[in-house]
Structure 1
Amino acid sequence: MLFHVYIDVQIPHGTDPEKLKELSEREHERAKELQLRGKWIHLWRVAGKYSNITILEVADPAELHDILSSLPLYPFMQIEVTALCKHPGSLELNK
């Protein structure tokens, strides 16, 4: 299953900068691991925001939840999820 995921990270004021740096480094490593495993298909930064748009390919919504909740910055995220399916007019269907 494919999911479009919009993630907006909202760090509370007063968060320890060293803790945030460590969480951010772990976040990048986790995203890299998921990309290498073929789960995190696309990752785009939203210009001017601490946000991203992601496409994930997972077996089911439960796996999606497990992946999202495993992200180190998850406690600071506002997440919107949309399930995707192939469009009949897409040229990708012929591949």
Structure 2
Amino acid sequence: MLFMVEMTVNIPHDMPAEVAADIKAREKQYSQDLQRAGKWPHIWRVVGQYRNVSIFDVQDNEELHNLLSGLPLFPYMDIQVTALCRHPSAI
């Protein structure tokens, strides 16, 4: 199943810089592992924001939920999920 996932990151301003840097490093590794595994085939940055639009290719809602909740930045994210299906006019 394909899902469009919009993630906005809201790291607290009072979080120590070294803590934020550690979380971001773990986030990068986790997301790149999912990309290599084919679960996260597309990710785009939204210009001027700490936000991305991504496409996930997973078995079902539960797998998506588990992958998203495993993101190290998950506690600091606002996430919107949209299920996708192939458009009949697509070639």
Which band: TM-score by shorter chain?
over 0.9
Q: How far is 1:13 from its partner?
A: 1.7
Query: How far apart are residue 12 of structure 1 and its match?
Result: 1.2
TM-score by length of 1: 0.95
Give the equivalent residue in structure 2 for 1:15.
Answer: 15
Q: What SS does structure 1 have at the residue aligned with 2:24?
A: helix
RMSD: 0.4
How many pairs are equivalent?
A: 91
1:65 corresponding residue in structure 2:
65
What TM-score do the two structures reach when normalised by structure 2?
Answer: 0.99
Q: Post-superposition, which runs of at least 4 consecutive aligned residues in structure 1 deviate over 3 A?
A: none
2-structure distance, mates of 1:85, 1:66: 21
Q: Which runs of 5+ in 1 are unaligned?
A: none
State the percentage of identical aligned residues. 48
Larger Rg: 1
**Match of residue 25 from structure 1:** 25
Mapped to 2, the partners of 1:68 and 1:10 lie a distance apart of 15
Determine the structure 2 residue equivalent to 1:50. Answer: 50
Deviations 1:50-86 (A, max 9, x none): 0000000000000000000000000000000000000
State the partner residue of 2:4. Answer: 4
Which amino acid in 1 is paired with 2:34?
A: L
